[in-house]
């Protein structure tokens, strides 16, 4: 209890509450996991910066008591890249939605991954554009309905973490809003990893996605999210056929590679000397 | 003791060096003709100064990155040309709204679209004014020489810092690529105005009382930066009176500092009958005309060159129109600034456009001929 009060006092802008999210929205769960994760890293509050794009999830920045930067749609990682290069000692968490990060911001995502710049991307994936009322995103599963795909989308979604790997990110993890403690741990691991880290957080949007696709309310959505997920450790012991419709959670991969900002500053001091 | 040393350099180089003299230590950009030399000079020089050069994945990201770096406390600049300038517009609007200082150089080329990448044109005057959406204020400089490019870049950096406002430099392709002498002050002679680091404990990022310096992220002032309309602490608001006040605030800070922002220069007869009003490289042709018509032939003519084109030098035009019968406005476009001149001449003088848009400079003879018609 004491911890919760402490976190609320220190890290939430309580005067800005209540938040704008709908009842049952998963954004609050993911934001809470992020706050706990930041606490667990032990970072100085002054060094932490929250950067976000545009969309329901990106509004989280306004509620968090740090230096917060709410940018333009899709561009959060590009703003963050500039800030990180200017001030490499800062710890940047970049909150994006699935449409924000993978559609309009796709180019910045692959290049932040390629540079392996030390930014911690937290992508809240609710499979839909929520703020504009439910249009399909590049992560909407084929066949699911959206206001712009009233008969179900024909497009194929991609796996953001496979994309991240191909582009060069050195850490990728997936968590679900139904398991907030695991999500918190994954964000901590992403934060302490040196290099570009991606944490995808699956999150229910009962209003703009669940309702249209008859997925039930928030409780049902969280339950089915849990039922269809399997940890990466268990998945390793499971037959491929059984994993077909499963969401694999946990640290999907992690390895070391030179981090861009550090390499840059090392290279310029070498030149000088 | 010599205070300055003359150096021969290209316009694009002068822009890069001016930026560095003014304390710019962060450059993000994307290659595009005819501005690439600015990026190349920055890539060469900034690392030795402990600064950052980064080539971003696109024009949009370059604009975003300089804003991010400015929030981190660095002085920043990016350069581009027409197509890239179009792409940067959304984030330019963001910087205006969030009051983040930065300098954007557009070395203009002929458009629309890919146009003629290597041909000069002054076609982005209105885009520089209105390229980003919404009712925003903007500052735009238009240098007429390599020398002016150097000094106006310094002025742009300082003004942008002081007003927490993006400043655009519209460079002409001919200036960007021309070599001329620039008098570079000795090290230490340049006055780089520094925003105060000392802020009161009740510092507010968007203080209703007026301008406050930007306190970079990472110093324990936990404020919010957004492109949404916001209150004095940076938090989003849709409350009509607050929205109106916030927009007024953006415009007032330019109006209050008008004299520092608006730079113009008049040469020629004390009581002219015909005046030329122009900007950028077209000033060079106009100067040749005035040299011949006034200095040699003592005709009652003059030239008002505009180093600042936005905010538009309305008062200067109003005053000029009262003196003269005719104002000729040569431009390398189909007529963009001429509309503003007409507006502020308020019918006191006849305003004559003179346009060229074939990718060539307006030559002095063209202006001379037009002028002759009004002097006979
Ligand atoms: S629309 Fe969906 S994502 Fe947006 S606040 Fe509502 S439930 Fe959450």
A244 touches chain B (CB under 8 A): no
| Co-location of B279 and B254 in the same domain | no
- Tell me if B48 and A271 make a contact (CB, 8 A cut-off): yes
Bridge partners of residue B225, in order along the sequence: A69
Closest Cβ opposite residue A69 in set B71, B90, B220: B71
User: Is there a single domain that holds both residue B81 and residue B129?
Assistant: yes
Average pLDDT over residues A240-268: 96
Mark which of B238, B261, B284 sits at the end of a domain: B261
Domain of residue B339: give its range: 265-375
CA pair distance B208, B231, nearest whole angstrom: 9
Residue A8's pLDDT is what?
81
pLDDT above 80: residue A138: yes
Q: How many CB pairs below 8 Å do chains A and B form together?
A: 128
Evaluate whether ipTM surpasses 0.95: yes
For an interface test with A, the pick among B43, B59, B61 (most A C-beta atoms closer than 10 Å) comes out as B61
Specify the pLDDT at position A168.
97
Question: Which pLDDT score is estimated for B376?
Answer: 75
CATH of the domain at B299: 3.40.50.920
Residues of A in Cβ contact (< 8 Å) with B64: 71-72, 75, 78-79, 81-82, 108
Residues B97-107: b if buried by 16+ CB within 10 A, e if exposed: bbbbbbbbbbb
Share of chain A above pLDDT 70, in %: 99
**H helix or E strand, kind and range, residue B334:** none
Q: Please say whether the beta carbons of A217 and A24 come within 8 A.
A: yes
Same-domain status, B4 and B95: yes
Same domain as B334, residue B203: no
Non-local (6+) Cβ contacts of B169 within 8 A are: B15, B103, B104, B105, B106, B140, B141, B142, B143, B149, B152, B153, B156
Cβ pair B68:A69 closer than 8 A: yes
CATH number for position A152: 3.40.50.970
Q: What is the pLDDT of residues A12-50, one digit of tens each?
A: 999 998 899 999 999 999 999 999 999 999 999 999 999
Residue range A70-100, pLDDT digits in tens? 999 999 999 999 999 999 999 999 999 999 9
Please indicate, yes or no, whether residues B203 and B139 belong to a single structural domain of this protein.
Answer: yes
Report how far ligand 1's centroid is from the alpha carbon of A126 (Å). Answer: 9
* β-pair type (B350-355, B301-306): unpaired
For residue B3, the model assigns a pLDDT of 60
Residues flanking ligand 1, CB < 6 Å = A 21-22, 25, 27, 56, 126, 130-131, 205-208
Q: Do the Cβ atoms of A87 and B72 come within 8 Å?
A: yes
How many structural domains comprise chain B?
Answer: 2
The reported pLDDT for the residue numbered B1 is 39
Distance in angstroms (rounded) separating the CA atoms of residues B287 and A19: 61
- Percent above pLDDT 90 for chain A: 92
- Whether residues B189 and B111 share a domain: the answer is yes
Burial A130-159 (b: 16+ CB within 10 A, else e): bbeebbbbbbbeeebbbeebeeebeeebee
The alpha-carbon gap from B227 to the nearest alpha carbon of chain A, in Å, equals: 7
Can you give the pLDDT at residue B198?
64
Q: Chain A closest CA to B235's CA: distance in Å?
A: 7
* Per-residue model confidence (pLDDT) at position B197: 57
- Give yes or no for residue A152 having a pLDDT over 50: yes
Min Cα separation A170/chain B (Å)? 19
B270, containing H or E segment: none
What distance in Å separates the CA atoms of residue B366 and residue A135, rounded to the nearest whole number? Answer: 57
Atom of ligand 1 nearest to the CA of A126: 3
Q: Are residues B39 and B135 located together in one domain of the fold?
A: yes
Burial (CB < 10 A; 0-12, 13-18, 19+), residue A9, is: exposed
Same domain, B182 and B277: no
Kindly identify which residue of chain A lies nearest to residue B226, measuring between CA atoms.
Answer: A70
Spatial contact of A40 and A191, defined as CB atoms under 8 Å apart: no
DSSP character at residue A224: H
CA A146, CA A99: separation in Å to the nearest integer? 13
In 3D space, the residue among B373, B363, B168, B336 whose CA is nearest the CA of residue B282 turns out to be B363
Cβ–Cβ gap A87/B48 under 8 Å: no
Q: How many domains does chain A have?
A: 1
A68–B222 CB contact, under 8 Å: yes
Ligand 1 atom 8: residue of nearest CA: A25
Supply the CATH number for residue B11's domain: 3.40.50.970
Asked whether residue B138 falls in the same domain as residue B78, the answer is yes
How many distinct helices (H) and strands (E) make up chain B? 13, 15
Q: Which residues contact B185 (CB under 8 A, 6 or more apart)?
A: B3, B4, B21
Q: Which stretches of chain B are DSSP H helices?
A: 11-21, 36-45, 59-71, 82-98, 125-130, 146-163, 173-177, 240-256, 258-261, 282-290, 314-323, 338-345, 364-375
Residue A9 — pLDDT band, cuts 50, 70, 90? Answer: confident
Of the residues B228, B261, B294, the one at which a domain ends: B261
d(CA B283, CA B330): 9
* CA dist list (Å): B97 to A70, A182, B61, B78: 12, 39, 18, 18
Determine the atom of ligand 1 nearest the C-alpha atom of A207. 7
Out of B52, B222, B227, name the one closest to residue A85 (CB): B52
Q: Are residues B106 and B129 in the same domain?
A: yes
Shared-domain flag, residues B65 and B210: yes
Q: Measure A207 CA to ligand 1 centroid, in angstroms.
A: 6
Mean pLDDT of residues grouped by 10 in chain B (376 residues)? 76 97 96 97 96 98 98 96 98 98 98 94 98 98 97 96 97 96 71 57 90 90 96 95 96 97 97 97 97 94 98 98 98 98 98 97 96 88
pLDDT score, position A247: 96
Nearest chain B Cα distance for residue A242, angstroms: 40
Same domain flag for B79 and B195: yes
Q: Check residue B140 and give its pLDDT.
A: 98
Domain termination site, one of B239, B261, B283 = B261
Asked if A62 reaches chain B (Cβ–Cβ under 8 Å), the answer is yes
What is the residue range of A242's domain? 2-272
Q: Could you give the CA distance from residue B322 to residue B325 in angstroms, rounded to a whole number?
A: 8
* CA-closest candidate to residue A248, choices A229, A233, A234, A228: A229
């Amino acid at each position: 209890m004491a911890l919760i009060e402490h976190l609320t006092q220190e890290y939430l802008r309580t005067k800005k509450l209540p938040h704008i999210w709908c009842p049952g929205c998963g954004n609050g769960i993911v934001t809470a996991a992020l706050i706990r994760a930041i606490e667990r890293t032990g970072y100085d509050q002054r060094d932490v910066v929250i950067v976000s794009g545009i969309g329901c999830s990106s509004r989280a920045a306004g509620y968090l008591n740090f230096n917060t930067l709410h940018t333009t749609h899709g561009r959060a990682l590009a703003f963050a890249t500039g800030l990180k290069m200017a001030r490499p000692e800062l710890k940047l968490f970049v909150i994006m939605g699935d449409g924000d990060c993978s559609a309009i911001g796709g180019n910045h995502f692959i290049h932040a991954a390629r540079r392996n710049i030390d930014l911690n991307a937290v992508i809240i994936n609710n499979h839909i554009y929520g703020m504009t009322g439910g249009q399909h995103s590049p992560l909407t599963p084929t066949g699911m309905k959206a206001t712009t795909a009233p008969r179900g989308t024909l497009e194929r979604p991609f796996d953001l973490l496979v994309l991240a790997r191909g582009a060069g990110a050195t850490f990728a993890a997936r968590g679900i809003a139904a398991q907030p403690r695991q999500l918190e741990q994954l964000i901590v691991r992403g934060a302490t990893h040196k290099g570009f880290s991606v944490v995808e957080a699956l999150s229910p949007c009962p209003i703009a996605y669940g309702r249209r696709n008859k997925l039930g309310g928030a409780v049902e959505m969280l339950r089915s999210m849990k039922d269809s997920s399997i940890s990466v450790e268990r998945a390793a012991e499971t037959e491929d056929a059984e994993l077909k419709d499963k969401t694999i959670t946990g640290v999907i991969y992690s390895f070391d590679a030179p981090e861009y900002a550090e390499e840059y500053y090392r290279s310029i001091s070498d030149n000088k000397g | 003791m010599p205070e300055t040393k003359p150096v021969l350099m290209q316009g694009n180089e002068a822009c890069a060096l001016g930026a560095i003299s003014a304390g710019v230590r962060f450059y993000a950009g994307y290659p595009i003709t005819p501005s690439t030399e600015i990026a190349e000079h920055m890539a060469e020089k900034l690392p030795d100064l402990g600064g950052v050069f980064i080539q971003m994945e696109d024009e949009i990201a370059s604009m975003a990155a300089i804003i991010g770096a400015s929030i981190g406390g660095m002085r920043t600049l990016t350069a581009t040309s027409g197509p890239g300038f179009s792409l940067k517009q959304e984030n330019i609007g963001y910087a205006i709204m969030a009051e983040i200082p930065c300098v954007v150089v557009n070395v203009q080329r002929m458009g629309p679209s890919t146009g003629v990448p290597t041909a000069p044109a002054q076609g982005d005057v209105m885009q520089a004014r209105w390229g980003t959406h919404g009712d925003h204020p903007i500052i735009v400089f238009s240098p007429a020489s390599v020398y002016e490019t150097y000094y106006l870049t310094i002025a742009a950096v300082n003004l942008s810092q002081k007003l927490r406002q993006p400043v655009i430099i519209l460079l002409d392709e001919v200036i960007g690529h021309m070599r001329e002498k620039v008098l570079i002050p000795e090290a230490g002679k340049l006055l780089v105005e520094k925003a105060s680091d000392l802020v009161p404990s009740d510092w507010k990022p968007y203080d209703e009382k007026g301008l406050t310096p930007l306190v970079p992220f990472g110093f324990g002032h936990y404020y919010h930066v957004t492109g949404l309309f916001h209150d004095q602490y940076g938090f989003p608001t849709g409350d009509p009176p607050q929205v109106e006040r916030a927009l007024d605030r953006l415009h007032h800070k330019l109006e209050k500092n008008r004299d520092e922002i608006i730079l113009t220069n008049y040469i020629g007869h004390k009581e002219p009958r015909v005046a030329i009003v122009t900007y950028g490289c077209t000033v060079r042709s106009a100067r040749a005309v005035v040299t011949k018509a006034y200095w040699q032939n003592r005709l009652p003519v003059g030239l008002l060159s505009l180093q600042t084109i936005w905010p538009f030098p309305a008062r200067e035009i109003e005053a000029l129109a009262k003196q003269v019968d005719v104002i000729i406005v040569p431009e390398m476009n189909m007529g963009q600034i001429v509309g503003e001149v007409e507006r502020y001449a308020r019918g006191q003088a006849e305003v004559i456009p003179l346009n060229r848009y074939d990718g060539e400079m307006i030559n002095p003879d063209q202006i001379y001929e037009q002028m002759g018609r009004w002097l006979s």
